[in-house]
Amino acid sequence: MSPETIPAAERKQSVARNPKATYDYHILEIWETGIVLTGTEVKSLRNGKASIKEAYARVKNGEVYLEGMNITPYEQGNRYNHDPVRARKLLLHRREIEKMIGAVEQRGLTLVPLELYFKRGRAKVALALGKGKKQHDKRETIKRKVMEREVARAVSVRGRG
């Protein structure tokens, strides 16, 4: 399906991404989670004022919280504004949370947010279960990206001639 044929309600409107996550972690599994926000936070997100570069998820008391995500206070929010870097609760099914708890506590994996976006008017977070890469793995990733780029460039040059 092309982006033009997807109904407007089905498309996701990206607010913030964490490109460094795929560089620093081997991504094993991805979940789409809801997020609990206040009114001014939603308005600020709709303006695109968020950063998830330093964010991570933590399991506390059987619930998952997103910490370190920065949502800039809404300009017209005055006294109703929020703390920009507060912990925000993520909405998941009980089985998903139990699976995360097992992976994080027993296998030593990390919960990393990949993207923050709106889908059908609701704020969502793409949360990934990741295993930290070693330095040589990171170098390997860079080499592979450079090779793919060179191959794509060679194919596009060949197609012109």
Confidence of residue 142 (pLDDT cuts 50, 70, 90): confident
Is 78 inside a domain boundary?
A: yes
State yes or no: pLDDT of 9 exceeds 80.
no
Domain region containing 30: 13-133
The count of domains in the chain is: 1
Q: Look up residue 134 and give its two tokens.
A: 């070693």
Return the pLDDT at 94: 93
Give the tens place of pLDDT for each residue, 114-141.
Answer: 999 999 889 999 999 988 888 888 888 8
Name the 3-class secondary structure at 47.
coil
Residue 104 domain-assigned (yes or no) = yes
Which residues have a Cβ under 8 Å from the Cβ of 18 and sit 6 or more positions away? 52, 53, 55, 112, 113, 114, 115
pTM (predicted TM-score)? 0.76
- Please check whether residue 47 lies inside any domain of the structure: yes
Question: pLDDT class for 10, splitting at 50, 70, 90?
Answer: low
Residue 42 lies inside a defined structural domain of this protein = yes
Torsion region of 82: left, alpha or beta (phi above 0 gives left; psi -120 to 50 gives alpha): beta
User: According to the model, what pLDDT value does residue 154 have?
Assistant: 87
Q: pLDDT tens digits, residue range 70-109?
A: 988 888 877 778 788 889 999 999 999 988 888 888 787 8
Residue 151 lies in a domain: no
Identify the CA nearest to 87 among candidates 62, 110, 70, 105.
70
Cβ-contact 26, 133 below 8 angstroms: yes
The CATH number assigned to the domain holding 117 equals 2.40.280.10
Judge whether 142 lies within some domain.
Answer: no
DSSP state of 109: -
CA distance 95 to 100: 9
Give me the mean pLDDT over the 7-33 stretch: 83
Task: Tell me the C-alpha distance between 143 and 83, whole Å.
Answer: 41
Q: Report helix, strand or coil for 157.
A: helix
157 found inside a domain: no
For residue 7, being part of any structural domain is answered with no
- Does residue 3 have a pLDDT over 60? no
